[in-house]
Amino acid sequence: MKPELSRKAVLIGRNGSSGFTLLELLVTVVLIGVLAAIAIPSYSAYVARGQRAAAKAALMQTAQFLERNYTAYGSYSTGASGVAVTVPTYAPTDGGQITYALAATVLTPTAFTLTATPCATAGSCPAGSNSTFSDAACGQLTLDNTGSKTAAAGTVDACWGH
């Protein structure tokens, strides 16, 4: 009968105990930590690139509007009947959560400079916006009537996608 008992013990495994050992749990926790350390920064960079793309789109759309206005009325700053031109004040403009404050820092009859400032830096985004968003890779983006694009941090190629 002794041989049968040893076979039963082998079939049951670990002498009838069930569950995980402390070593197995520690290995699992370490693996999850390593995966999180890789995934979270990648996801954060992906989100920042998406928000930056929305700001660039808003700047480009506003610049196109101002160019059409200049073609039609001969001025960037005034439209029909001398009415002052207004530009969007936040990005994205499609109803998503606001992450950038937009401004026409220069708006004269013959020139304009548009800026997009991350809400954490601008300090003037409305309630409900992502007031903690700061784009450390590029910072404030600018676009002017000559098509010149700049970024406060990083390179123009990296921030504007040339």
Is residue 102 a contact partner of residue 89, using CB atoms and an 8 Å limit?
A: yes
In 3D space, the residue among 60, 107, 63, 105 whose CA is nearest the CA of residue 84 turns out to be 107
CA 115 remoteness from chain centre: 16
Omega before residue 126 within 30° of 0, cis: no
Is residue 90 a contact partner of residue 62, using CB atoms and an 8 Å limit?
A: no
User: What pTM, to 2 d.p., does this model score?
Assistant: 0.75
Higher pLDDT pick, 18 / 52: 52
Confidence grade of residue 88 (pLDDT, cut at 50, 70, 90): confident
Residue 7 has which token pair? Answer: 């076979």
Strands lying side by side in the sheet with 112-118: 90-91, 100-107, 112-118, 141-144, 149-151
With 70 as the cut, is the pLDDT of residue 6 above it? no
The overall average pLDDT reported for the chain is 86
How high is the pLDDT of residue 92? 84
DSSP letters spanning 99-132: -EEEEEEEE-SS-EEEEEEEHHHH--PPTTS-TT
